[in-house]
Structure 1
Amino acid sequence: MSIYEEIGGAPALAAAVDEFYQRVLGDPELSGYFEGVELARLKGHQRAFLAAALGGSELYAGRPLGEAHRPLGVQPAHFDRVVTHLADTLTSLSVPQPTIDLIAGKLAPLKAEIAPDRTPTQPQTTG
């Protein structure tokens, strides 16, 4: 059984995405990323992305994640806050902790693509 099926499929994922965006949009550190964004469309992309990532039959047909998020300049700490909101959402919907850990494990590698470390590098000196 896939994680997608384990959490309840499309209806459960839709409820999770709705609650997740309530949390994210209520977070003053994150809400600015969503100004002027068509939320219904974004939620649709998020449902499709998560369904595909968690083993559902839906196909994610959005832009590559790095391309979609690059103009936003997402900070690594903000990525972590988003993942925390997702975990809290799943906890509130009674998803078992081992399943939440599996989901977080699938999302963790995306941090480098969505929120690359933008720390300026120091020039190498020889000497």
Structure 2
Amino acid sequence: KAYGRSKLMNLLTARELHKRYGDSKLIASSFHPGAVRTPIWSKGGILARLIGLVMYPFMWSIEKGADTFIWLASAEDAEVLSAEGSYFFDRRKPRIAQFATDEAAAELWHVSEQLIEPYFEA
């Protein structure tokens, strides 16, 4: 659950960043690296370890997991330059959940501002 929620938060934050700063040529996107072969699979609970053990041979290499990130950070093609806060997986825009709305992105931004506000008070 936590991982899925963090991906949703990444998506919503990118969307709101684009909405607020997209006209200043800031390009905001989010991405999912896929199931990547990393040591994290051996550090979780028993279920995570079991999944890691069974799925490890089918997981992506670290290089493959980083591919979409590197593509987003360095590409100059129209799809990336006009991403408009989009979410990517394997260099494509997958279908996203219906509840990943502009309203949800604005609400997350608002809550985030409230959470960090005490750290910026003089």
TM-score normalized by the length of structure 1: 0.27
- The structure number with the bigger radius of gyration is 2
TM-score normalized by the length of structure 2: 0.28
Specify which structure has the bigger relative contact order, considering alpha-carbon pairs within 8 angstroms and separated by 6 or more residues. Answer: 2
Greater per-residue strand proportion: 2
